[in-house]
Amino acid sequence: MSMKKLYFLLLLIFFFLLNCTKKEEVKDVPYIISKAEADYKKMLKESRNHSIPPPPPRGTFVYGSSNFIIDKDTNVFYFQQPSFFICGTGAENDTVPRLMEFKKEDFIKIPINSIQDFVKLNYKKGERNFAHIASQIDTLNFKVYFDLVNAITQSTYVRNGDFFIIRKTTQEEDTVIDYKKKSKSYYWEDIKWDTSRTDTTHYKFVKRD
């Protein structure tokens, strides 16, 4: 092989490796919740207009078994919850979560530098992990979010049916987080819930003295 051919071959290998390296580095992809929801609604409408089976309703899973909340100050909180399902025809329109009677103690604040270890401890092989990343911030383009997504992705076992979704926080999550951060006493019965965001039809409120 001539020196020119050898040089050309080495040059091709160099650019190939450089290209691969660049692809590996592009892993922190920003996510805009409002845009994702708009795209979903558009896809759902088009599937109906063309008699194509619609995508799975996003309202089916109100809460995951593992729920990570990013507040407006980029703090991360966590709570576990048995997956809560909305069943029946028209579930794709039934996206208002029911009042779950959460307590402040249910929400654990995760140290920012411990996200990776925390996720590993709370993900178990052989069990289906339905994780939700709920955010008060619409545009997710910061380190805490990227660290959380990478940690969940690395701990996800697709063969077990694991998956995760990203969504806005519910009114109940926002309320509990607010009271927790302010160290105020919290009783869900005392809250004036917005029925367009929280379904309270299954609960009887008893005013406390």
Percent of the chain with pLDDT over 70: 64
* β partners of residue 50: none
pLDDT higher than 70, residue 10: no
Q: Which residue's structure tokens are 């249910």?
A: 106
Q: Which amino acid is at 40?
A: Y
* Band (163; pLDDT cuts 50, 70, 90): confident
Instruction: Locate the domains of the chain by residue range.
Output: 28-190
What pLDDT does residue 89 have?
Answer: 38
pLDDT in tens, 101-136: 999 999 999 999 999 999 988 876 666 778 889 999
* Band (42; pLDDT cuts 50, 70, 90): confident
Q: CA 63 to CA 176: how far, in whole Å?
A: 15
How crowded is residue 40: how many other Cβ atoms within 10 Å of its Cβ?
14
| pTM across the whole model | 0.75
Pick from 24-28, 94-98, 176-180: least confident: 24-28
pLDDT in tens, 43-102: 767 766 665 555 544 545 678 888 999 999 999 999 988 655 444 334 445 567 888 899
Q: Which residue's structure tokens are 């809560």?
A: 84
Q: Where are the beta strands (DSSP E) in the chain?
A: 31-32, 61-63, 66-70, 76-80, 84-85, 108-110, 130-135, 139-140, 163-168
Of 184 and 209, the structure prediction assigns the larger pLDDT to 184
What pLDDT does residue 67 have?
Answer: 92
Burial 143-180 (b: 16+ CB within 10 A, else e): ebbbbbbebbeebbeeeeebebebbbbbbbbbbbbebb
* Band (2; pLDDT cuts 50, 70, 90): low
Q: CA 77 to CA 158: how far, in whole Å?
A: 24
- Is the Cβ–Cβ distance between 123 and 150 less than 8 Å? no
Q: Classify the C-alpha dihedral 72-77-83-84 as positive or negative.
A: negative
Judging by beta carbons within 10 Å of its beta carbon (0-12, 13-18, 19+), is residue 2 exposed, middle or buried?
Answer: exposed
Q: Over the chain, what is the mean pLDDT?
A: 76
Within 8 A by CB and 6+ apart from 133, the residues are 68, 70, 145, 148, 149, 152, 164, 165, 166, 167
